[in-house]
Amino acid sequence: MPDVRFDSYSTRRFGHLLKLCLITSASRYAREITERDVIYANTILCHAEHFMPKALGEFGKARHSDVSHKIISLVEKEYSIVSFKEIWKHVTNDLEKMQDLTTLLQNLVAAEKLQSIPGKGFLAHRKIVDENVSGLVDYNLLTPEERKMAI
């Protein structure tokens, strides 16, 4: 995973995969793990991994990481452009001056967390889940509800 917050996760991933394989086979009342169980378990894991950074949010050691998280949460809720003024209304109590917000927004755009729409505002920088079926992942095994939950 490209996010450094999950560096140690790679050492635990195989254990998680094995547990999911057991769960998927047990859900079928089977005594053996099949290839289909492994593919389904890996699909669940890949789908969850795609959204793991979102679960942690933008919290970190930076001075205004809590405000950054608030901004990203606000913009991700909307599926339209959010203006600077609208963002300022939500963070005015967290920042001393508008220049601080301008700097935060520039940093979020540079980090590809937000997209800047010149003269209009900001959009969330959304990652697309690659649902191409490969030999180890088959998103067709997920229900529409499971796919929708992560959005």
39 and 136 Cβ atoms separated by less than 8 Å: yes
The end-to-end CA distance of the chain, in Å, is: 19
DSSP 94: T
Q: What is the pTM of this model?
A: 0.53
Q: What Cα–Cα distance (Å) separates residue 127 from each residue in 18, 50, 67, 101?
A: 27, 8, 22, 24
Domain 65-124 sits in CATH at 1.10.10.10
Each residue of 24-38: pLDDT tens digit?
999 999 999 999 999
Contact 142, 43 (CB under 8 A): yes
The domain locations on the chain are 4-56, 65-124
Asked if pLDDT for residue 127 goes beyond 80, the answer is: no
**In the block, which residue shows the tokens 């089977």?**
30
User: What would the pLDDT profile of 51-87 be if each residue is shown by its tens digit?
Assistant: 787 766 655 556 777 888 889 889 988 888 999 999 9
